[in-house]
Structure 1
Amino acid sequence: MSIERIISRQYEIANGISNDIGLPKFKKYAMCNLRGGIGKTTLAFNLSYLTNDLLAVDTCPQGNLSYFFDNQYYSSQAPTVRDLILPYLVPGLGKATRVASYVGATNEYFADKNVYYIPSTEELYLLPSQLITAINQALGLQGAQKEQSLKSILYSLKEEIDREMEQNQLERCLIDTSPFFAGATQLAWYAADALVIPVRTDQQSVKSLELLINTLTSPQSEFRKYLPTNDLKVPQIQMVVLTHCGWSTVSGARNEPNQQTKVYLKKVFDILSRHRTLLSTGDPSNHLFMLDDFLGSGRISSVESKPLSLLHSGETKVIDRVRVSVNKSVDKCKHQLQYINQQLWG
């Protein structure tokens, strides 16, 4: 097992001729890494378009995914993911139902997709303190009552996602998270079956991956310390997506990563090799994938809330008084996204 297998597979991925490598498939994924600006929301938005019967849940207080789904999101008064969680933390509050909204009603590009979403809110910035207060109150209880109260709090988002999926007859869920663990991100880890971890080609992102794995595994971490092992549902790592990759310009190179990308590819591969028990298979090379920097295509996609799959080489748009073009590499990016989607859902 080595990075050579990952590199050789990249040519087939870039040209849309790769095969499913047979990863086990899960229903609910959390998109996470404990650092911002690495492509979590961009990846979540584009993967949301590539599947159907999906519930997308935005647990990041910045609300960028919610904005992509509905450009009027910031002025909306609709119920949010916080409204689903709060009744589990504050006794006596009524529970919200049927919170999920049909994306096609607010984003025309999703009109032929059966995709729903639960929006975020900036009030999620307050959730960490509310969550720890509720946990501390539960820890003051005794015996089975304490254990049941902790499970109710920590699995609150899971229970509400399961209910929304059942009510809307949805088969899949993708949860976008914030770049810090406390609060809704913590609950997203309890709700997910597996994790998708974007890692940018820089040292800070690699350190964030190590911090994430330590949080996932350390008995004293905020994730593991509240529940006994037999009650703790630990999500597996389905994939690590190395983002903003660059490619060799040497004549004859077939989608081979450049030297900087290779350096970070090896660093991430070594980390996964040391923690292979967290992976949904035992082979790290099954779980590490590379994704191009979207460049101008990504800027146009973000400004128009338009999935990258619908862009075409040569399209242009003026952004901040600068004309931006869809790059020729957009087709390669489309194939990469499609391949990642295939490894999630089949």
Structure 2
Amino acid sequence: MLVDSAIKTIVDRQYDIANGTINSLPLPKHKKYTICNLRGGIGKSTLSFNLTYLANKILAVDTCPQGNLSYFFDDNYFTSNVNVRDMILPYIVPGLGRATRIAHRISATNHFFTNESFYVPSDEQLYLLPAQMTTAVNQTSGLPSPQREQALESILLSLKNEIDRELAELELETCLIDTSPFFSGATHLAWHATDALIVPVRTDQQSINSLNLIFKVLSDPASEFRRHLPSDFPTPKIQMVVLTHCGWSTVRNARNIPNQQTVIYLKMLKDLVSRNISHFTTDDPDNHIALLDDFLGSGRISSALSKPIQLLEAGDTMRINRVKVSVNDSVAKCKKQLEFISNSIW
């Protein structure tokens, strides 16, 4: 079966991933990643949940007010006394005391986790953070230049400073930040807190458009991200784009060849990454694109049980809303894809 030369390297790699003969992409390793795309429903929280399970000594931080990642870790997370908003707010509202030891051990509330993993829960009041940040930033405008830059830096690096403190206090090695589909507020701070970005992109045009919007936000001097930045502030690079909800050919002996819809969006994605390669951590576009199956029944069961994909087995079943849902054989390939992504970032 012929494969377009533009995506041949990426497609050929799927055989090696499925067979376990390739371990990772040749990428620089970082300590802190932010998973983001300025669109909802593409698998950010699901990817964050499963990558957290595959890591050890990790801090997962949920900055999305919807709290999907927090729910995976603890279905009563919203009863927590302290959360990610408590980390940020003292830097924005003068006079508030700063909380410490905010992170929770995941294994205390999700028995599928047995390693040294912690998380910082979300808060629905994060919806208010963009307005609070705008007010705080505007209040710095009347300050003399050195003081203004110091005040801005305190706001913009608030989440970074608090995450670094938690990592040091808990002696953790890595961090993964889940974000909302909106740039303003906590997502903005997450970009300053991270070493690199991981961008899930679904096989649809809206997701491709959202990735293009990320490139614009990162590069446009007038964007909300850049217009308040002191001149020496770094801009995060993108480590990986994960094309989610991929489908595969049903032709005999072509089970690792993408189907026509996936090929269309993979070619569009490769072209977009190639044209914006300066935003990535290497100069080879093929290094930065990973494919991830549509989880189908596996994903529904994983979400319903807050159980990582790695622990599911083909044939597992359960009833969800009175409908029987099954894990099919493709879960084995999903596991290897997730392991490949994890090995490529840590």
Query: Could you state the TM-score of these two structures normalised by the residue count of structure 2?
Result: 0.97
- The one-letter code matched in structure 1 to 2:99 is A
Whole-angstrom distance in 2 between the partners of 1:310 and 1:147 = 48
- Deviation track 1:143-187 (CA, whole Å, cap 9, x = no partner) reads 100000000000100000000000000010000000000000000
Q: Which stretches in structure 1 are left out of the alignment for 5+ residues?
A: none
Pairwise CA distance, 1:254: 4.4
Would you say 1:329 and 2:333 are equivalent positions?
no
Which of 266-275 and 14-23 deviates more? 14-23
* Corresponding residue number in structure 2 for 1:31: 35
Whole-angstrom distance in 2 between the partners of 1:87 and 1:269 = 42
- The one-letter code matched in structure 1 to 2:187 is T
SS of the equivalent of 1:173 reads strand
Superposed, which structure 2 residues align to 1:9-28 within 5 Å? 9-28=13-32
Task: Name segments (4+ residues, structure 1) moved above 6 Å.
Answer: none
Q: Which stretches in structure 2 are left out of the alignment for 5+ residues?
A: none
- Deviation track 1:214-262 (CA, whole Å, cap 9, x = no partner) reads 10111111111111331x1211100000000010111121401011101
* Corresponding residue number in structure 1 for 2:143: 141
Which of 30-39 and 138-147 deviates more? 138-147
Superposed, which structure 2 residues align to 1:228-307 within 5 Å? 228-230=230-232, 232-307=233-308
Whole-angstrom distance in 2 between the partners of 1:130 and 1:188 = 16
- The one-letter code matched in structure 1 to 2:186 is A
Given the alignment, which residue of 211, 218, 221 partners 1:219? 221
Whole-angstrom distance in 2 between the partners of 1:229 and 1:291 = 38
Superposed, which structure 2 residues align to 1:182-221 within 5 Å? 182-221=184-223
* Corresponding residue number in structure 2 for 1:95: 98
SS of the equivalent of 1:240 reads strand
* Corresponding residue number in structure 2 for 1:124: 126
Q: Quick one: percent identity of the two aligned structures?
A: 61
SS of the equivalent of 2:208 reads helix
Q: CA RMSD in A?
A: 0.9
* Cα pair 2:24 2:341 within 8 Å, conserved: no
- Deviation track 1:288-343 (CA, whole Å, cap 9, x = no partner) reads 01000000000000000000000000000000000100111000000000000000
- Deviation track 1:267-297 (CA, whole Å, cap 9, x = no partner) reads 1111111111111100010000100000000
Given the alignment, which residue of 63, 66, 80 partners 2:67? 63
Which of 18-27 and 40-49 deviates more? 18-27
Pairwise CA distance, 1:71: 1.3
Pairwise CA distance, 1:87: 0.3
Whole-angstrom distance in 1 between the partners of 2:121 and 2:64 = 9
* Cα pair 1:39 1:243 within 8 Å, conserved: yes
Alignment size in residue pairs: 342
Whole-angstrom distance in 2 between the partners of 1:172 and 1:186 = 20
SS of the equivalent of 2:155 reads helix
Would you say 1:105 and 2:108 are equivalent positions?
yes
Query: Could you state the TM-score of these two structures normalised by the residue count of structure 1?
Result: 0.97
Whole-angstrom distance in 2 between the partners of 1:270 and 1:229 = 30
* Cα pair 1:248 1:258 within 8 Å, conserved: yes
* Cα pair 1:27 1:173 within 8 Å, conserved: yes
Whole-angstrom distance in 1 between the partners of 2:25 and 2:295 = 25
- The one-letter code matched in structure 2 to 1:217 is S
- The one-letter code matched in structure 2 to 1:138 is T
